[in-house]
Chain A
Amino acid sequence: MTDQPQHLPDVPAADDLTAPWWDATREHRLTVQRCDGCAAVQHPPRAVCLACGTLGGLSQVDVSGAGEVDSFTVVHRGPRPDLATPYTIARVRLAEGPILLTRIHPHQEVAIDDPVEVAWWDLPDGRALPVFRPLNRTNTTP
């Protein structure tokens, strides 16, 4: 829980594919889907392993919560009127491989390849939304 924003987004209910991922967020555990057969990891969760094609033995496993900024954009004009701007949208490459879309929170300038770690926004229904905060800012944005 990190300085929650005033207006949290409405997040649609989980479904069969995403329920295990969302359930883990209730305990602030960030997970990716792992294949028992070939050990590949993927995100978002799917009914099939994209690496080996199996439909069985797919489960959510914890990740470290560490990653790097793959790219980012600072949004200056929000899509909802209640949203405070500016804010930073980022693609974060998890150390384990998969890429997440997320927010840099609290809002601050980042650079591509900056190291980041997971933080959480608690949603009213008990789920939590993973956001990322910078570690050791390199401050080398070109």
Chain B
Amino acid sequence: MSATTSTATGAAIVGVAESDLGVTNLSILTLQTQAITRALADAGLTLADVDGIATTGVSRFSATQVADHLGLEPRWTDSTFAGGSAYEMMVARATQAIESGQASTVVISFASNQRSAASRRLGGVTEDHTPEAQLETPYDPLFPLSYYAMAAQQYLHRFGGTHEQLAEIAVAAREWALLNPAAYRYRAGSLTAADVTSSRLVSSPLTVADCCLVTDGGGAVVLTSLERARDLAKPAVRVLGYGERTTNTSMTAVRDLTSTGAVGSGADAFARAGVTPSDVDVLEVYDSFTITAALSIEALGFCGRGEVLDFIAGGRIRPGGSLPLDTAGGGLSYCHPGQYGVLLLVEAVRQVRGEAGARQVPDAEIAVAHGTGGILSTHATVVLGADR
């Protein structure tokens, strides 16, 4: 399907890359450096071209830290801290910076060594001065898992679905991972819905197989103006639209656990891009848990309210299906370094460029990357399109 050009932005993604993935025994800054320099090389650019840096997850002063480490003095930085959705938000910020002339070449990056460093904690990290530390953490919910589990429980109760149906998200992700040599579960073989539901319960109804991997990894994407993008090494992938919503930090603020901020972020992004969900060839949504992806697909408008479990059945989201989902294998079977959002963008760009090898979706022209952060707290949607 062809991209409309009237409403699209004036920015494009020109370079993408992953850092080393899996179990690396490397520092965060080494992984960041890998991702950034590889993404620049992909674009035919070098560090000297970079005048904008957007990153988080390094330290309290993430963009400053990365700039220092790479010997840069950027004109523009962004360290928006919004969990896994931050990178989709950064595409919007970077696009605006490029359109306004504040920066010409922006790198968005993330990396984590959480697997090697064993830094992931089931209860999450809370700050003692927040209301949640007094009013929610004392009950020992798993963070963020227990919130997603309560959303799943509510969804299955209200709309009458089963955990087996929900497990299709993990089953399909595995099928995609079997096509991606970089995936953590590349050689793990197929997964069945029964495998998912019979795995060890962690926070009911969700089992360990409903949960994303815990791996090292990272990625980077490089943006510049569309005009300049057309002179660079790879085909430009246009930023057609973006939207975001921020809804809650507490587990009690949102009254309806089954309807997320993706309703608004998606509507804004599609309107700006001048496309609808039916125009989308590839969908990359954050799958921290099976329920995360399911709620996002529905909220973004790919199916009606209460319909997502029927919608994803029958192979629709698997390789060869009509809505290819999380084509690298997702956080569930490819890589999950804690904030997966940047890798959604990397895969979306590769699909639109036609570089995805065995998992390539034929003639992919419009891809959506949708990040979710925290406990369904932050939601950001980016619509990307081929420059045709």
Q: Which A positions have Cβ atoms within 8 angstroms of B?
A: 9-12, 14-15, 17-18, 22, 43-44, 70-80, 83, 87, 89-91, 98-103, 112, 129, 131, 142
Q: Is the CB of B150 within 8 A of A99?
A: no
A75-B136 contact given A15-B129, A91-B150, A112-B153, CB 8 Å threshold: no
Q: Which residue of B lies closest to A11 (CB)?
A: B138
B129: chain A residues at CB < 8 Å are: 12, 15
A112 to B205, CA, bound (A): 13
A103-B139 contact given A17-B131, A71-B151, A73-B149, CB 8 Å threshold: yes
A18 to B135, CA, bound (A): 9
Q: Flag the segment in B100-108, B111-119, B120-128 that touches A.
A: B120-128
A89-B141 contact given A77-B122, A80-B123, CB 8 Å threshold: yes
A13 to chain B, nearest CB (A): 8
Q: Is the CB of B142 within 8 A of A100?
A: no
A22: chain B residues at CB < 8 Å are: 134
Can you sample 21 A-B contacts with CB below 8 Å? Answer: A9-B137, A11-B138, A44-B135, A70-B257, A73-B153, A73-B204, A75-B203, A76-B201, A76-B203, A77-B122, A77-B142, A79-B121, A79-B140, A79-B142, A80-B123, A83-B140, A98-B252, A101-B135, A129-B138, A129-B139, A142-B156
A81 to chain B, nearest CB (A): 11
Q: Is the CB of A74 within 8 A of B138?
A: no
Q: Is the CB of B204 within 8 A of A80?
A: no
A129 to B124, CA, bound (A): 21
A100 to B134, CA, bound (A): 12
A12 to chain B, nearest CB (A): 4
Q: Is the CB of B139 within 8 A of A89?
A: yes
Q: Is the CB of A71 within 8 A of B131?
A: no
Q: Is the CB of B138 within 8 A of A77?
A: no
The interface bits of chain B over 240-251 (1 if a CB of A lies within 8 angstroms of the residue's CB, else 0) are 000000000011
Q: Which residue of A lies closest to B121 (CB)?
A: A79
Q: Is the CB of A101 within 8 A of B252?
A: yes
B146 at interface (Cβ–Cβ under 8 A)?
yes
B60 at interface (Cβ–Cβ under 8 A)?
no
Q: Which B positions have Cβ atoms within 8 angstroms of A?
A: 121-124, 128-129, 131, 133-143, 146, 149-151, 153-154, 156-157, 160, 200-206, 250-252, 255, 257
User: Which of B133, B136, B154 contacts A71 (CB under 8 A)?
Assistant: B154
B133: chain A residues at CB < 8 Å are: 12
A89: chain B residues at CB < 8 Å are: 139-141, 146, 150, 203
Q: Which residue of A lies closest to B143 (CB)?
A: A79
B37 to chain A, nearest CB (A): 37
User: Which of B134, B150, B206 contacts A11 (CB under 8 A)?
Assistant: B134
B141: chain A residues at CB < 8 Å are: 73, 75, 89, 101
Q: Is the CB of B134 within 8 A of A76?
A: no
Q: Which residue of B lies closest to A43 (CB)?
A: B252
Q: Give the most central of B121, B128, B135, B204: most A CB within 10 Å.
A: B135
B50 to chain A, nearest CB (A): 39
A91 to B154, CA, bound (A): 11
A80 to B154, CA, bound (A): 26
Q: Is the CB of A99 within 8 A of B252?
A: yes
A93 to chain B, nearest CB (A): 9
User: Which of A9, A72, A78, A79 contacts B153 (CB under 8 A)?
Assistant: A72
A74-B203 contact given A9-B138, A44-B135, CB 8 Å threshold: yes
Q: Give the most central of B123, B140, B151, B154: most A CB within 10 Å.
A: B140
A80: chain B residues at CB < 8 Å are: 123, 140
A112: chain B residues at CB < 8 Å are: 153-154, 157
A90 to B154, CA, bound (A): 11
Q: Is the CB of B200 within 8 A of A76?
A: yes
Q: Give the most central of B121, B136, B139, B206: most A CB within 10 Å.
A: B139
